[in-house]
Amino acid sequence: MLKTLTLVGLVGLGAMAAAHAQTPQRGGTLNFTAPYGSSFATLDPHAMVTIQDEIFASAIHRSLYRWDTTKNEPVLELASEVTASPDRRVFTYKLLTNAVFHHGKPLTADDVIWSYQRIATASNAFPGARHVAAIAGAADFASGKATTISGLRKIDDHTLEITFTQPTNPGFTLMRGSMAILPSDIAGRPEFATRPVGLGPFRFVEHVPGSQGVVARFDRYYKEGRPFLDRVNIVIMGDASARDVAFRNREIDASILGPSQYQAYSADPNLSKHMIEVAEVFTRNIGFNNTFGPFTDRRVRQAINHAINGPLIVQRLARNKAYPAVSWLPISSPPFDKNAAPYAYDPAKARALLAEAGYPNGFEFEVNATPNESWGVPIVEAIIPMLAQVGIKVRPRPVESAVHSEYVIKGEFQAYIWSNTTGPDPLQALQCFHSQTPASACNYTRFRSPEFDKLFDAARAEPDPAKQTELLRQANNLIQQEAPVWFFNYNKAVMAYQPWVHGIQPNATEQALQNYEEIWIDANAPASRR
C-alpha cells in the first residue's frame, strides 16, 4: 500500500513538474538575433524595406492584421471584428477599444487613417504606398488631386470603413510591418525616427546602431497577460559563424542557421532537440528571359528543368536546408497542388525536348548570379556539368546584389538566379506572370500566356475564397507546365533556440520574424536573463 501511494505521489509530482514546465512564466530577458546585415536601417516602420528592420519593429509596432503562424493566414490584430461587403470591396472594422500607444494615447480610427495617408504621401516615398494604392482614392491622394483618401472613412472613433478598388483579402497587405499603425499626434515629429512609439507589446528602450536594439515590456498592452518577457535585446549579428559561437556560449537565445550550421546542429544530439524548421514562402529559381531566342520555346525551358538534378544540389550544396521545388507557389500556399509531381531528372527527355525545339546540339546562355551561397554563383557552377550533358553551355555572369536586381528589372539578362517571394498571398505571387504586369514590376521573365491571364483574371474577380484557391491552383499548375523558370527549391528556414526558451513559432513568411509576446523563458535560463 505504501509503495503504491509513493508511486502515485511520484507520478503526481512528475506530472505537476511537467505541467509547470509548460506553463508560461513571466519575466526575464530574451537575447534574440537580427541576422540579415550589420545594422537596422530605420526605426520608422513606414520607411522599412528590409526584414532586418522588421525584426526590431515587430516588437514595438502593430498593424491592423497579423500573420497567424498556426492558421497560416492573416488574422485581425487591432480590430475585434470585421464585416465585408458581398463583393469583398468594402470592409468595416471595429477597432480595439483597449489598445493604447506607448505614450498613453488610445488607438482611434484617426490613427489608422493618418498612418495610411502618411504611407501614401508621394514625397515620403514609402514602400508601403503600393499596398495603400489598393484603397479607393489613394491614387488621387498620392497625385495631389485629393487631400484625403476617400476609401478611408471614419464612422466613429473605433469604427473604420475601408473601400478597396477591387475584391480583395486585405489581410495580406495590411498585416505588413510597413503598414504599422502609428500615433497621429507624434509620429510625424523628427524625434520619432530615433525614439519610436507604437502599439506593440514592448516599448522602445535603446538603439545602439550597428550593435543592438532593446525593448521592454509595455504594461498597458491590450492582450491580457502578454507579453511574458520583461525585455528583449535584439542583437545585430550578420555573421553566421559569430552567431554560432554566441549561441553555443549561451549568450544568445535563438539564432537563424545557415546551411553549414544546420548540418552541424542536426548532427548534435543536444542542439538538434531545439530546432524549428519551416518551409518559407520563397522560391529559388533560374528565371529565363522569355524574349531570348531559345527561351521563347516552352520545350527548351522544360528541357532545362528535366536536365538539372535539383534534389542532388539541394542535398549536396544546400545541405538539405531547402525543399526541392515543384512549382512557383510554395508548399504552405493554399493553392499549392499536393498531387503535382516535380520535373523528373531525365537527361534523355531533356535531349529529346531540345531536339524537338530545334536545338539538337544545344545552345549557350549566361546566368546573372550574385555570390549568394544558396541561390548564386555556386549553384550555377553546379548546373554547368548537368546542362553540358544535354549540350547546353552555361556561363555564370557574377554581379553584385544591388546590380543584380537592376539588371533583372531592366531586362539586361538571358537568365538570372534569384530567390523570389512567392507568398503568403498567392494572388500577388502569381500576378508576376500576368501579361499586364510589366517587367519593371515583377514579371521579370517577360512571360506571356493568354491561358494563364484568363485563369488569373477569373481568380482575381472571384469573391468565393475556395473557388479562388481552385483557380489559382490551376494557374500555378499551368506555370509549372510552361516553366518560365527552373524550379530549384523552397527555402527551409531553421531556427535554433536554447532549451529554456519556449513559444518560438514556425513562421512561413519569415522565420526570423517572431511574435515576441508569445515567447517566454523558464527557470533554467542563465542568471543574466532571469
Partner 1 sequence: MLRFTIRRLLQMIPTVITVALLIFIIFSVVPGSFAASMMADGRMDADPALMERMNREFGLDKPLYERFGQYLYDIARFDLGTSFRTRLPVTHMINERVWASLKLAIAAMLFAAVIGVPLGFIAALRPGSIFDTATMIGAVSGLSMPQFWLGLLLMYLFALQLGWLPSFGYGDGGFMHLILPAITLGLTPLALLARTTRAGVLDVLNADYIRTAHSKGMSNQKVVRWHVARNALVLIVTTIGLQFGSLMGAAVVIEKLFSWPGIGSLLVDSVAVRDIPTVQGTILVIVLWFLVINTLIDLVYAAIDPRIKQG
Report the interface residues with partner 1, using CB under 8 A. 36-39, 41-42, 44, 47, 49-51, 122-125, 127, 129-130, 133, 193-194, 208-212, 235-239, 241-242, 245-246, 248-249, 251, 282, 370, 400-407, 409, 418-421, 428, 432, 438, 440-442, 444, 510
Give the SS3 label for residue 256.
strand
Residue 90 vs 513, nearer CB to partner 1: 513
Residue 406 vs 464, nearer CB to partner 1: 406
Residue 90 vs 186, nearer CB to partner 1: 186
Closest distance of CB 124 from partner 1, Å:
8
Residue 23 vs 440, nearer CB to partner 1: 440
Residue 27 vs 238, nearer CB to partner 1: 238
Closest distance of CB 255 from partner 1, Å:
12
Residue 90 vs 242, nearer CB to partner 1: 242
Measured between alpha carbons, how far is 518 from 184 in angstroms, rounded to an integer?
28
439's grid cell: 517587367
CA atoms within a 13 Å half-sphere pointing along the CA-CB vector of 407: 21
33's grid cell: 538575433
Closest distance of CB 298 from partner 1, Å:
24
Closest distance of CB 238 from partner 1, Å:
6
Measured between alpha carbons, how far is 346 from 464 in angstroms, rounded to an integer?
40
Closest distance of CB 35 from partner 1, Å:
11
Closest distance of CB 285 from partner 1, Å:
9
Closest distance of CB 384 from partner 1, Å:
23
Closest distance of CB 171 from partner 1, Å:
18
Contact 301, 361 (CB under 8 A): no
Phi, psi of 381 (to 5 degrees): -65, -30
**HEC string for 7-44:** HHHHHHHHHHHHHHHHCCCCCCEEEEEECCCCCCCCCC
Contact 59, 234 (CB under 8 A): yes
Residue 13 vs 403, nearer CB to partner 1: 403
Residue 108 vs 117, nearer CB to partner 1: 117
368's grid cell: 546573372
Taking the alpha carbons at both ends of the chain, their separation in whole angstroms is: 42
CA atoms within a 13 Å half-sphere pointing along the CA-CB vector of 423: 29
Closest distance of CB 227 from partner 1, Å:
23
Measured between alpha carbons, how far is 138 from 143 in angstroms, rounded to an integer?
9
Give the angle 330-334-339 at the CA atoms, nearest 5°.
75
- Which residues are CB-contacts of 496 (< 8 A; sequence separation ≥ 6)? 247, 254, 255, 257, 261, 265, 271, 274, 275
What pairs with residue 417 in β-bridges?
286
Closest distance of CB 15 from partner 1, Å:
36
Amino acid at residue number 267: A
Residue 364 vs 406, nearer CB to partner 1: 406
Q: Which residues of 363-396 are buried (b: 16+ CB within 10 A; e: fewer)?
A: bebebbbbebebbbbbbbeebeebbeebbbebeb
Residue 374 vs 449, nearer CB to partner 1: 374
